[in-house]
Amino acid sequence: MVTYILQTYPDMARKGTMGIIPERLNGHSLRRNKTMHLLRAGVNLINIRNMLGHVSIQTTEVYARADL
């Protein structure tokens, strides 16, 4: 259902706006963007790891390195 929503409603919203909503929008992009916002807001990496469900902190650190 999330995929359907992310494919249908952004297309409708794009009709009235130019360039605000990216062409490629999926569940993973929402997850990645939220993670980056949390990192920039100073949320502890351990808390982000727990939210994402990662077993290893090294997996979560990929986001931290990407933010540099």
Report the Cα 2 to chain-centroid distance in Å: 14
What whole-number distance in Å separates Cα of residue 6 and Cα of residue 25?
6
68 has pLDDT over 70: no
pLDDT of residue 67: 60
Cα 8 to Cα 11: distance, rounded to the nearest angstrom: 6
Judged against a pLDDT cut of 80, whether residue 39 lies above it is answered with yes
* pLDDT tens-digit readout, 6-32: 878 887 777 777 777 777 777 888 888
Structure tokens at 61: 């650190």
